[in-house]
Structure 1
């Protein structure tokens, strides 16, 4: 069963209240991860009356199951961005993510954040060629990368590309601190407040409790948007699942690492309350397509023991990440016909910096301030050809899984989103939908959307 280091070492958690009345607000935010909390903080600081609704506990979703890397080195990405978006937009992507890191540094305290070099590494000739390609992109964009061949890791490494003085965070402690700042700025945060129905024309949300929230502006920070069908976002997002394990260690690493070739691995350490933990992640697949997922944890546990000589693995968890077809997240109005509804999703495993970038974009749009990244991150941006290809791919998967699931998994519960048969995930003990990434706990309750209603078990 998923067992996150960050969730287990969070600050002592006083629950936020459950919404028990009908209320009105300027801005309603749905989703209590880092994205939702950053939006709440930025907008409350602007004097907006902000309400944030979280169906479970804040930060227990994607944020609490991340690697905790707060960096602008988002894998092998800048060479790809240059090709797809050109120099100016690629530089904007780097700049706004670095600005998000600086914001994180400005508010963090104690061990919520520490400095770390971010390092891409190769273990093959082809991987080293990728690093050279990425280094050329760094030079063109003015990114201060350093190419080298040294590493503190006890594995064979051919080459490295280092971005110095980046950050890593304890994502839940950092998020808890941000939540307190949002409350101090005037935001209202409610947990165990599950949205069941939306009337976007009337600007009204109805909760599972039957209480209602009337809003002027709505921000969906729910990972996979509830109202995805309206803007066809459901045809533009694929959902990936990856695995992370943590073991007790003696020494902290100076850097945080990610491989550019196979096997794909992400490595860092964390220092929490006087203890050091070694984190190894990888083993990804498209969400909902595998049932025997324990094998991914077992491979990582074995690698931690045999390659890194750490015998005491104490945590293992998984993360689910929607991806857009062109690498850039979606942040902005969900469609031109619904200019009061905003969407924030598609972080491609780099949600810690991108969630704060997206929150800046959306809060600036709401208060009428120009943001240099708004066009780049817009859900309605150009590039429709790639969207069509992704739509065909995902639609084909949905049709295949819908048909095959009902023929071959007749005993599996039916997802309450669009009727696909779920699969049992033995590693995390959840029911996972292969069509759009909804996940349900063993008792059938919703863990991750776009589904909003529990399974009929």
Structure 2
């Protein structure tokens, strides 16, 4: 049962080939999630010779384990964006994410996309005050939000903030469709092709199979970029994990919901092949910090039964996503000394729209087209002071976990990224690293980076 609903109901397909020869291209994209596939599609449409390589199978990472909400309503964000970046930049963030929603709607087929209102809701006085503050930001930016009380959920709600006409994806089917469009436009996609090394000066990637890929420009669409340390992105990203349970339901909701109060909960339904599924997400924590994650599935399953009166649990899964210090993802050149290496990461659990936004930004960089969001999303935008706090927090955690882990978890295998001791995650049957969020399967193979080499389990 610990498997994503989206992966269980993906379109049947043949695998893409593995890299079996030395290759060359204009642009090489590492990472086969929605971000990488959208980048491949946009660049192939521009006539670029594009190769996308995925170490496992496309869409089986964050995309295939997401909630699939394609919306501009990214929790309580716009009031904070105005304070940090000003009204004009907050409006740009809204506009480019709205464009991403419409792009998803325009290319989708069948049940890949469904229109749904996006709703924030409060259950406390403090939560209601937060919604009122967010509504002020909506008005200042020009977002068509409605503050009131409109909820289909069987729970007591004080207030809601609604944006109508947003979207929901079946993220895997949508991504599979996008992959086909990218290939039709000329992109080459390779699966089971792990990148084990790179020479950025010579512009070469080296695969586990012993072949190399020569590129003119490189786009890293992985959670933790392999070369992120160059621009200190490793010190700017915190990785959080959250959990989702799903069960069959009688009828779909017209809206998709997220609470602003604790306990944090996200709710939506999905119609797949004539069946309706109800999804409940929450129980977030920093990745790798908990030994037994089954408790989070149990709490959500109990809520599904007791609050929403649904007994037929069909799926349970979890996902992790990195966040930047200032809410906005990184998309663009990773470092001024190597302007041909690009980065897409830090989607803060809102990767459905921000993956598409980031893909457009990088594609526009590469074809030398102006993009109004380029400076807002630029990886080098973060001032030293703002990321230093995050860096110290994360680096302090690393030092604590490195020393404490080696003293208290002497039987746990050592993460191949930076040497921290991993923790066994009983529920997901994975080895999880608390330092930078690497995850390894039971057999030691890499499930999620930044680690690229398997654990030594002997």
TM value normalised by structure 2: 0.99
1:392-429: CA deviation from partner (whole Å, max 9, x where unpaired) = 11010000000000000000000000100000111111
Corresponding residue for residue 203 of structure 1: 203
User: Which residue number corresponds to residue 253 of structure 2?
Assistant: 253
For 1:403 and 1:198, the matched residues in 2 are separated by 30
Give 3-state SS (helix, strand or coil) of 2:229's partner. Answer: coil
Partner in structure 1 of residue 312 of structure 2: 312
Q: Which residue of 1 aligns with 2:450?
A: 450
The CA deviation at 1:229 is 1.1
What secondary structure does 2:189 align onto? strand
The yes-or-no answer on 1:262 pairing with 2:262 is yes
Where does residue 122 of structure 1 map in the other structure?
122
Could you list the per-position Cα deviations for residues 222-251 of structure 1 after superposition, in whole angstroms to 9, with x for gaps in the alignment?
A: 111111111111100000000000010001
Structure 1 residue 27 displacement after superposition: 0.2
Measured after TM superposition, the shift of residue 383 of structure 1 is: 2.7
The number of residue pairs the alignment matches comes to: 457
Q: Which residue of 1 aligns with 2:180?
A: 180
Cα deviation, residue 382, structure 1: 4.1
Find the aligned partners of 1:62 and 1:118 in 2 and give their Cα distance: 21
CA–CA distance in structure 2, aligned partners of residues 102 and 187 of structure 1: 23
1:327-347 CA-to-partner distances (Å, cap 9, x unmatched) read 000000000011000000000
**SS of the counterpart of 1:282?**
strand
- C-alpha separation between the residues in 2 aligned to 1:25 and 1:437? 31
Matched, 1:339 2:339: yes
- Measured in 1, the distance between the counterparts of 2:6 and 2:384 equals 38
**Cα shift at 1:13:** 2.1
Alignment-derived partner of residue 438 in structure 1: 438
Who is 2:326 aligned against?
326
Matched, 1:8 2:17: no
- Structure 1's consecutive aligned runs of 4 or more residues displaced over 2 angstroms after TM superposition are none
SS in 1 for 2:341: strand
In structure 2, the residue corresponding to 1:229 is in which secondary structure?
Answer: helix
Are positions 1:374 and 2:370 aligned together? no
For residues 14-413 of structure 1, the aligned pairs below 5 Å read 14-413=14-413
Instruction: Report the secondary structure of 1:133's partner residue.
Output: helix
1:367-403: per-residue Cα shift (whole Å, max 9, x none)?
A: 0000000000000014321111101110100000000
SS in 2 for 1:413: coil
TM-score by length of 1: 0.99
C-alpha distance in 2 between matches for 1:445 and 1:2: 18
Give the RMSD, CA atoms, in angstroms: 0.6
Task: State how far apart, in whole Å, the 1-side matches of 2:199 and 2:173 are.
Answer: 34
Structure 2's unaligned 5+ residue stretches are none
Task: Provide the C-alpha distance between the structure 2 equivalents of 1:432 and 1:406, rounded to a whole number of angstroms.
Answer: 14
Mapped partners of 1:195, 1:29: distance in 2: 11
Distance 1:131 1:101 in 2: 23
Matched position secondary structure for 2:398:
helix
